[in-house]
Amino acid sequence: MSDLLTSLNSAARALDAQRFGMDVTGQNIANVNTPGYSRRAIDLVWIAPYDKMSAGGGVEVVGVRALRDRLLDRRLQQELPAERREAAIAEALRTVEAAIGRPGESLDVKLNAFFDSFAKLADNPTSSVARQEVLLQGGALATSFQDMAARLRSAQADSDQQIRAVVDQVNTLTSRMAALNATASHAAATGALPALQDEQLYLARQLSELVDVSVIDHGNGVVDITLGNGKPLVVAEHQYDLGTSSTAPLGYASITSGGVDVTSQITGGRLGGLLQVRDVNVPAYLDQLDTLAYNVATQVNTLHTAGYDQTGTAGVAFFTFSPSIVGTAGAAEALVVNPLVAADARKIAAASITDVGDNQTARGIAALRDARVLNSGTATFTDAWGQLVYTVGRDSKDAADDQATREEIVRQVDQLRDQISGVSLDEEAANLLKFQRAYEANARFFKACEDTIDSLLRNLS
Amino acid sequence: MGLRVTFNGQFRDATTNVERASERLLQFQRQVSSGRRLDRVSDDPSGASAALGERTKIAQIDQYTRSTDSAYSRLTVLDTVLSDMVTKLTAAQVAATSALGTTPTDAQRTAAAEQLDGLKAALLDDFNTSLQGNYLFAGTKSTTKPYVASGGTVAAYAGSSTEIQVDIEQDRAVTVSFDGGAITKGSDTTDVFAIMDGLIAAVNAADSTAINSGIAALQNVFGRVTAVQSRVGAAMQTLDAEKVLLSATKIASSERLSKLEDTNMAEAITGMQQADTAYKAALGAAAAAAKVSLMDYL
């Protein structure tokens, strides 16, 4: 049978429990803006009666729970790499797009001016002014190709720099994760497990933004991380660094794990996006640019060498490559006006016969503007340039659109996660009120018990 | 249980919506202030690529227009020169005819011969006409004087038999420099200057047979000059038509380019106003949501 002192005890316990509830509420409110924080709920149970003459032992605090949905956390870890990948591509391609320039302000203008200059020369093949103009525009076209190639190369180098930085960030995060894993047993013993898990989930989220990783949560405060392909990054308290090694010929970073090159296996996250830009997108653009430069040079040279210059000598190549190239690779960067021609405008071959007044070769070169000489006779030079502009624009737009869609998915998942784990100030206010009132009521009960004991003692005296 | 509205969720929603609305507003503002629909290629990749094509077409048209103008001015000079040749050849025939028969006196014959000599010199000048340092009747040897006179004799044609053409359209060209030899001599055995020399001698010698054959030979030259003149006339007509066509094509291309690249102001300004309203609404909603909290009522 319960006695007054037991009641007093249970009232004291109840006061403790309600005060603890207020503490938890306070903790939630305090962390309303803390990233990665999952709201805590207090678990209370009633204490069963000892015998049939007992009402029960009051209330007891069983523990504090962090409210999470593992499924949503996992969903986020899956969506984030794809979203961040597209974001990285969109961001890098924006720079490339700026390098390519707008229609009417880029290589197309130089191409047109170059063919214009030959048309003017055809109009007046003996004019030294027209010849100087051809040299000027030829030089401008070559420079324009060189600049464009240099800008694309620098976009590639920028991506490489960022890749190295991201690898460092990944290593920092994984080493933190390993350090957290090492504290798991201690955290479990001291009740700090929810806080530890919050931090681990937040780290996993940050990692997912950088690279596509698999997160294996053992549920006991130990989280293992592997790369998408299974290469371990964190196993319990052991961390495995990602490495970078500069690879010839351009010295760009290959990513290694345990001495093995894993570059091609990384597709997601910011790292995956940057690799895509550096190793796939920009090389493809450069390739198109090189092919265009090479074909401009070859087509012009074919006509030019078949013609005769102002002194009646057979024409030399109008464009040359310095340094010389093999195939089309590097053509844009190496394109120059043949120094022999550049030094003497009379060496420009405008004629197809030895007569100085003949303009057949100049007309032929001017007509190359409209000639479908590329892609097996289906595209003009401007078409080919337009194709490159279109490819860059489309890639950039695709990445931006894709990122927008995925960002929305991430936002929705975040929102869903928030509905479970996030702190609602209204709810916390209500909880505060609830615990406060309960505390007041329990305090009254305590007072009542005390008064009863008091009156009993008074009667005895 | 209903949807839990969390502080962060509310905040995230509000910021996302405000960001989106302001981004949209910025897009329209950029379109209106720059006047360009295509600010970056990725705004409309296929449109940008099409715009590139139009720009090239316009550049090409501009080039053809320049060529047409330049060819036209050359043809105008040619036409004038050829007309002059026709006049001179007619005058030569008249002068030679006046020396026919037994009626003309010696003095009249001498006068006719002198007139013929003057006309020959004038024809020589005509065939040696140059424009901007290029001889118009020397074919592709445009810097070589086609007919050089030393003493009274004019040397054989020194120009080229290849004519010079300039492009005025894709696969369309006009001749701007002619083969002088084909006009003065053609398939005949003597050129116009030798014919004139022969005529002068015949007039002086009162050789009516030679005068008549000389007049007949001049008639051949006359025929060739007028044939070239009609070619020039036809070319000028072509150029006139070409100019109209080029400017019409350019207008069409420019319109297409404008549609591809330029902002449709009415649309953009309406869009901007809508975006502005949406932006203000998003800001208002965010502010209103942040104002109320149960905390205020405790």
What does the pLDDT look like over A121-149, one tens digit per residue?
999 999 999 999 999 999 999 999 999 99
Residues in B closer than 8 angstroms to A359, CB to CB, are 140, 164-166
To the nearest whole angstrom, how far is the Cα of A96 from the nearest Cα of chain B?
11
Q: Are residues A91 and A61 located together in one domain of the fold?
A: no
Counting Cα atoms < 13 Å in the Cβ hemisphere of B54 gives: 20
Please name the member of A97, A119, A356 whose beta carbon is closest to the beta carbon of B41. Answer: A97
Banded model confidence at residue B14, pLDDT cuts 50, 70, 90: confident
Residue B291: exposed, middle, or buried by beta-carbon count in 10 A (0-12, 13-18, 19+)?
exposed
CA B298, CA A428: separation in Å to the nearest integer?
12
Mutate to test the interface with A, among B12, B38, B56, B136 (most CBs of A within 10 A): B56
Is residue A52 pLDDT above 90, yes or no?
A: no
Residue A417 inside a domain? The answer is no
Q: Is A419 on the interface with B (CB under 8 A)?
A: yes
Residue A415 inside a domain? The answer is no
Residues in B closer than 8 angstroms to A202, CB to CB, are none
Contacts by residues B174-177 (CB-CB < 8 Å, ≥ 24 positions apart):
B174/B71, B174/B75, B174/B235, B174/B238, B174/B239, B175/B231, B175/B235, B176/B71, B176/B74, B176/B75, B176/B78, B176/B136, B177/A357, B177/B74, B177/B134, B177/B135, B177/B136, B177/B137, B177/B138, B177/B139, B177/B140, B177/B142
Residues in A closer than 8 angstroms to B298, CB to CB, are 429, 432-433
Contact between B167 and A122 using a beta-carbon 8 Å cutoff: yes
Reference A289, options A126, A141, A134; nearest CA is A141
What does the pLDDT look like over B49-60, one tens digit per residue?
888 889 999 999
Quick one: pLDDT at residue A2?
Answer: 62
For B96, the token pair is 């030679």
Quick one: pLDDT at residue A258?
Answer: 86
ipTM beyond cut 0.90: no
Q: Is B41 on the interface with A (CB under 8 A)?
A: yes
Is residue B147 pLDDT above 90, yes or no?
A: yes
**In chain A, what percentage of residues exceed pLDDT 90?**
71
Q: Are residues A225 and A334 located together in one domain of the fold?
A: yes
Contact between B56 and A112 using a beta-carbon 8 Å cutoff: yes
Mutate to test the interface with A, among B6, B68, B69 (most CBs of A within 10 A): B6
Region A26-33 average pLDDT: 91
Contact between A411 and B12 using a beta-carbon 8 Å cutoff: yes
Is residue A306 pLDDT above 70, yes or no?
A: yes
Q: Is A424 on the interface with B (CB under 8 A)?
A: yes
Q: Are residues A431 and A379 located together in one domain of the fold?
A: no
Are the beta carbons of A322 and A309 closer than 8 angstroms? Answer: no
Q: Which residues contact B240 (CB under 8 A, 6 or more apart)?
A: none
Residue A141 inside a domain? The answer is yes
Is residue A203 pLDDT above 60, yes or no?
A: yes
Residue A162 inside a domain? The answer is yes
Q: Is A220 on the interface with B (CB under 8 A)?
A: no
Quick one: pLDDT at residue B2?
Answer: 64
What does the pLDDT look like over A167-199, one tens digit per residue?
999 999 999 999 999 999 999 888 888 899 999
The total number of structural domains that make up chain A:
2
What does the pLDDT look like over B96-106, one tens digit per residue?
999 888 888 88
Quick one: pLDDT at residue B68?
Answer: 93
Contact between A392 and B41 using a beta-carbon 8 Å cutoff: yes
Residues in A closer than 8 angstroms to B160, CB to CB, are 353, 355, 357-358
* Residue A41 domain boundaries: 4-67+425-460
Quick one: pLDDT at residue A202?
Answer: 92
Q: Is B170 on the interface with A (CB under 8 A)?
A: yes
Is residue A320 pLDDT above 90, yes or no?
A: yes
Are the beta carbons of B257 and B50 closer than 8 angstroms? Answer: no
Quick one: pLDDT at residue A109?
Answer: 92
Is residue A1 pLDDT above 60, yes or no?
A: no
What does the pLDDT look like over A226-284, one tens digit per residue?
997 788 999 999 999 999 999 888 899 999 998 889 999 899 999 999 999 999 999 99
Please name the member of B53, B63, B139 whose beta carbon is closest to the beta carbon of A386. Answer: B53
Q: Are residues A54 and A79 located together in one domain of the fold?
A: no
Architecture of domain B53-255: Up-down Bundle (1.20)
Quick one: pLDDT at residue A191?
Answer: 82
Contact between B53 and A383 using a beta-carbon 8 Å cutoff: yes
Please name the member of A93, A355, A432 whose beta carbon is closest to the beta carbon of B140. Answer: A355
Quick one: pLDDT at residue A54?
Answer: 82
Q: Is B46 on the interface with A (CB under 8 A)?
A: yes
Residue A459: exposed, middle, or buried by beta-carbon count in 10 A (0-12, 13-18, 19+)?
exposed
Q: Is A93 on the interface with B (CB under 8 A)?
A: yes
Average pLDDT of the residues of chain A? 92
To the nearest whole angstrom, how far is the Cα of A170 from the nearest Cα of chain B?
27
Structural domain spans, chain B:
53-255
Quick one: pLDDT at residue B76?
Answer: 95
Q: Is A215 on the interface with B (CB under 8 A)?
A: no
Q: Are residues A59 and A83 located together in one domain of the fold?
A: no
Q: Which residues contact A406 (CB under 8 A, 6 or more apart)?
A: A79, A82, A83, A86
Mutate to test the interface with B, among A355, A361, A407, A410 (most CBs of B within 10 A): A355
Q: Are residues A190 and A121 located together in one domain of the fold?
A: yes
Is residue B43 pLDDT above 70, yes or no?
A: yes
Contact between A102 and B38 using a beta-carbon 8 Å cutoff: yes
Chain B, residues 261-280, CB within 8 A of chain A, namely 261
Nearest residue in A to B50, CA atom = A386
Contact between B60 and A125 using a beta-carbon 8 Å cutoff: no
Residue A414 inside a domain? The answer is no
String of DSSP letters for A404-449: HHHHHHHHHHHHHHHHHHSPPHHHHHHHHHHHHHHHHHHHHHHHHH
Quick one: pLDDT at residue A283?
Answer: 96
Looking at chain A, the number of H-run helices and the number of E-run strands are 13, 11
Chain A, residues 32-71, CB within 8 A of chain B, namely 32-33
Quick one: pLDDT at residue A31?
Answer: 92
